[in-house]
Amino acid sequence: MEKEKIVSIEERIPKLKLQRRKKANRRLIIMLILFFTLILCIIYFQSPLSKVKSFSVHGNDSYTADEILKFSEISSQSNIWKINRNEAESKLEKLPEIKNAEVTVRLPNTVKIELKEYEKLAYLSKGKDFFPVLGNGEILGNDLSEDMPVNAPILIGFKEGKALDEMISSLERLPDEILSSISEIHYKPSKTDAYRINLFMNDGYEVNATLRNFTEKMTHYPSIISQLDPAQKGVIDLEVGSYFKAYQAEEAEEVELKKESED
């Protein structure tokens, strides 16, 4: 049996020194990497590179991009790492027109803002001015315009109260294609019905209705006009039942009544 080879302590010392030197070098390299990384981070945070450089705003119909940035309190001087997205979103959602706001930070220095606004269901007419009425029922008193609004019905004769609230609630439940087909809605209360309204449609028809069942009745409007002669306009009465009366027939009745009174 061979004798085991005996390694003297003198032979092992150089190997131990070499291993220790390698470990020390690795630790030094790691420390140097951490040190320079820290230096680069400090330089980055203190330099313009950490400031917001580009903005992207989408879904803003009521406000300009600059106004949205102002309300969110995010600017080109904001540090990209210090932007509080929840706080910025909360500030934007306090605006009456904004239903939802989403702020996204994209490295190295971009901020993206996505907005969803309440729909302008109608315009409340007061003299020559029109006040937008939002889908949440709020009337914008600081957004007056003398320009004729488009793509939304004009409410005439309404005042703030139950009738207007019911009108807005009814419009909100209407399909978009029917809502966009309404030109004007006049509030015409009577002794028997405090919620009576008169509509003028973009296709030339007139509609008498009541707010008590307005949404349910108007949902069938496309089906109703499909049964009528497009060349013959008149009044569609939806207050009790559903029937049509041509303008020509009304004129004939007026003429006949006048002749009877002269006799």
Q: Any idea which residue has 């919620």 for tokens? A: 195
Structure confidence at residue 203 (pLDDT): 93
Rounded-to-integer distance, Cα 61 and Cα 59, Å: 6
Structure confidence at residue 51 (pLDDT): 85
Rounded-to-integer distance, Cα 199 and Cα 170, Å: 14
Q: Is residue 4 scored above 60 in pLDDT?
A: no
pLDDT in tens, 149-207: 667 899 999 988 899 999 999 999 999 999 999 999 999 999 999 999 999 999 999 99
- Tell me which of 77-91, 119-133, 185-199 is least confident: 119-133
Instruction: Tell which residue, 41, 111, 44, 42, has the closest CA to residue 76.
Output: 111
Q: Is residue 243 scored above 90 in pLDDT?
A: no
Structure confidence at residue 39 (pLDDT): 77
- Tell me which of 11-15, 101-105, 246-250 is least confident: 11-15
262 — pLDDT class (breaks 50, 70, 90): very low
pLDDT in tens, 130-139: 888 888 888 8
Structure confidence at residue 261 (pLDDT): 41
Q: Is residue 21 scored above 80 in pLDDT?
A: no
With a pLDDT cut of 90, the percent of the chain lying above it is 48
Structure confidence at residue 135 (pLDDT): 84
Distances (CA, A) of 226 to 175, 203, 209, 222, 253: 17, 12, 19, 6, 26
Structure confidence at residue 144 (pLDDT): 54
